[in-house]
Structure 1
Amino acid sequence: MMDALRWYQAKLFVEHALGVSMDALHILVGFSLFLLVARLLRAPLASPRPLLALLVIELINEAYDLYVERWPSLGSQLGEGFKDVLLTITLPTLILVMARWRPSWVTQSTNQRPGAGQDANQ
């Protein structure tokens, strides 16, 4: 229980120290973790592995929140947790979809750069 309380207090500290809402932190930290996990796994952003790893991390985080916090309405608490999961994985999911089905939107091939293929002496 003590570790869960420390984790919760650390999250509250970050929220108040940065002056950013918890919802915004879910978006920012979720996207950052998605990129970090992709790098650590050496997986492209088009791979589902970084997104699945992020989802597992977020579900663990929400399980901690359910363990530590006690809301008067369980339905409200579960709804807030579901919203947190959606906020955390939405941007990474969009990046994954773009990287898989529209890779040209996230990468630029050498022959598409401005001036590519032109003679340097012109």
Structure 2
Amino acid sequence: MSFDPAVWFHVKELVRHATGWPMDTLHVMGGVILQMVLAALLRTSLASKWPWLIVLGMELTNEAYDLWFERWPSLGLQVGEGLRDLVGTMLLPTLLLWAARCRPRLMSGRGR
């Protein structure tokens, strides 16, 4: 059984249309939600690097897919959009990881 690369594109479009949110919003929301779900599934805290690293890996895979599957008239615009997606996806998960590790009182009201 082979994977049809168009399937991921259609899944992303389905989610975009179902929520009515622009893709930038989905990247921001998706990064945070995914980090929290992964921390729960891995039975670890947001202070663990693993949920963050998995989100990063998934986002890099998604952007590589976009570069491979989608063809824009300008490669520069496409790469720029991918970098914006990467920053938008990882900014809040990075902030949550930092806060959980370096300022745990912000997360729980208690010290480490």
Q: Does the alignment reach a TM-score above 0.5?
A: yes
Partner of 2:53: 52
Deviation at 1:40, TM superposition (A): 1.6
1:1-122 alignment, distance < 5 Å: 3-109=4-110
Deviation string 1:27-67 (CA, Å, 9 cap, x unpaired) is: 11111100111112222111111111100011111111111
Greater Cα offset, 39-48 or 81-90: 39-48
How many residue pairs get aligned? The number is: 109
Runs ≥4 residues deviating over 6 A? none
Q: For 1:75 and 1:2, locate their aligned partners in 2 and report how far apart those are by CA, in whole Å.
A: 28
Per the normalisation by structure 2, the TM-score is: 0.90
Which stretches in structure 1 are left out of the alignment for 5+ residues? 110-122
Partner secondary structure for residue 88 of structure 2: helix
Q: For 1:2 and 1:95, locate their aligned partners in 2 and report how far apart those are by CA, in whole Å.
A: 34
AA partner of residue 48 (structure 1) = K
Partner secondary structure for residue 72 of structure 1: coil
Per the normalisation by structure 1, the TM-score is: 0.83
% of aligned pairs identical? 49
